[in-house]
Amino acid sequence: VKSLQLKKYRQEEQCFLVEGNKSVIELFRSDFEIEMIAGTEAGLSLLSKKIGDRKVDFFSVSERELESMGSFQTNESVLAVAKMKSRSIPVPASDKFLLALDDIRDPGNLGTIIRTADWFGINEIIASPQTADFYNPKTISASMGSFCRVGVVYVDLPPFLENCIVPVYGAFLSGQNVHSLKFEKGGIMVIGNESNGISKEVEKLVQHRISIPGSGKTESLNASVATGIILDNIFSSK
């Protein structure tokens, strides 16, 4: 179980870790296949009240064993191992927004972006191969259960964007004010890397450069905060 903290072993086993009571409950409500549940007696008893009668192997372990299996010091008394899902590449359409992540490296940021996308009803994200792993325990945890509803598919962004017929928007430090831009009904919104923003290759394929006006002295916003502000503007202008 512990080895699933590393991508290499997740890929070998095609399994991933879900930690904490809230996330495991969401897992039970989803169509992910569950391999097993480990938890303290208290954790399992609490869980059993909230889930249906799906047949899953339950293992009762000590608090210490549980901590040693998971990636958090306290993981709220339960932990699940689930099977990865295969997903098809999303098809851009003129009446919906896709999020495209160009090298978001921090799994916590990725998880928060997944949660934010879910809030605004976006359930498909494409991401460059260098983006943090969807199945990283920190991504799963930060998504607060939204990993069950939002999928991330890893694709090489330049050819994908080159061939798509919907408008491509990108978040930059200098661009059109996000408040004055009239967004189309659908398109692709590209969010760049935490330190370097959108890469040169992807930048060429962005038709609408947008930015969030600010009056302070910090250089930039956190990537997931910027994503939230932009999505809020997209969905309030529609």
End-to-end CA distance of the chain: 45
Q: Closest separation between CB of residue 55 and its own copies, Å?
A: 25
- Give 75 or 112: the residue with its C-beta nearer to its own copies: 112
- Comparison of 84 and 225: residue with beta carbon closer to its own copies: 225
Q: How far apart are CB 118 and its own copies at their closest, in Å?
A: 4
Closest to its own copies by CB, 129 vs 213, is 213
Least distance CB 210 / its own copies (angstroms): 13
Nearer to its own copies, 121 or 159 (CB): 121
- The CB-of-101 to its own copies minimum distance in angstroms stands at 15
Sites of contact with its own copies (CB under 8 A): 108, 112, 115-123, 142, 144-146, 149, 179, 212-222, 224-229, 232-233, 235-236
Task: Determine contact, residues 170/198, Cβ cutoff 8 Å.
Answer: yes
Which CB atom, from 76 or from 160, has the smaller least distance to its own copies? 76
Q: How far is the CB of 11 from its own copies (least distance, A)?
A: 23
